[in-house]
Chains A and B, each alone.
Chain A
Amino acid sequence: MHGVGVDLVEIDEVRDSIQAFGERYLGRVFTPAERNECGASPARLAERFAAKEAILKALQVDGAVPLAAIHTHARGRGDLTVRLAGAAADLAVRRGVRRIGVSVSRGRGHATAVAITEPI
């Protein structure tokens, strides 16, 4: 069965978190590659945060999964590829997930993402 997850993030919240917690926030949430792709853009980082939360919902997370264990990579316009590590990869195995598709978008003030899991 396919799993579906969706998430919505306020871009200003990401901007505020960067200002309040700086490197600690960025390092706990995003991978170095994601930070390299998104630069200092709160809007792009908000898309990635929304993607990670949508993926966790699609995987029906029931335990501890650090957000940085979910690696997203820009593939095209609004399209991300996903690689899972550690606890996130273990969860995908337990759920029988072969692949995850993610689409992101943003408008005035918010970023959103939808994730769909493909079963083995």
Chain B
Amino acid sequence: MAFGYDSEIRTVLRDHARLPVDVETLGDDADLFAAGMSSHASVNVMLALEDAFDIEFPDAMLKRSSFESISAIGAILSELRAAA
């Protein structure tokens, strides 16, 4: 479950994660790093999510687990938007 942000997250991943597979073939809980997203690409994903959702990731959320799956990203976005 991606907290209703599934489509937007997948668009960001398609444009910035440099995945070697079609993001539509990945389940919400699939490990994005195992699917081929590099650490460097995850920085781009973070910045693109900030643009797309008009948020800023605080330092405390800058960890691998925050970006390891569509579900994890959805949970973080939900938390940040609720706090906004």
- List the interface of chain A (C-beta within 8 A of B): 7, 9-10, 13-14, 17, 20-21, 24-25, 28-29, 49, 53, 61, 63-67, 86-87
Contact = CB atoms under 8 A, between A and B. Distances in A.
Given A13-B38, A20-B16, A28-B46, 7 more contacts: A7-B39, A17-B47, A24-B47, A25-B43, A53-B39, A64-B60, A67-B62
Contact of A65 (B41, B43, B63): B63
A23 B59 CA distance: 17
Nearest to A52: B39
A9 B47 contact: no
Contact of B40 (A14, A28, A65, A66): A14
A13 B18 contact: yes
| Residue of B16, B40, B43 with highest tally of chain A CB at under 10 A | B40
A91 B4 CA distance: 35
Nearest to B39: A53
Chain B residues touching A, range: 10 to 19
Interface string B36-61: 00111101101110100000000111
Q: Is the interface of A mostly helix, strand, loop or mixed?
A: helix
A40 B72 CA distance: 34
Interface of B: 16, 18, 38-41, 43-44, 46-48, 50, 59-64, 66
Contacts, number: 49
B41 A63 contact: no
B72 to A, nearest CB: 13
Nearest to B46: A28
A68 to B, nearest CB: 9
B59 A64 contact: yes
B62 A66 contact: yes
A86 B46 CA distance: 21
Contact of A20 (B44, B46, B60, B62): B44
18 contacts: A7-B39, A9-B40, A13-B38, A13-B40, A13-B44, A14-B40, A17-B40, A17-B44, A20-B16, A20-B48, A24-B50, A25-B44, A29-B43, A53-B39, A63-B63, A64-B61, A64-B66, A65-B62
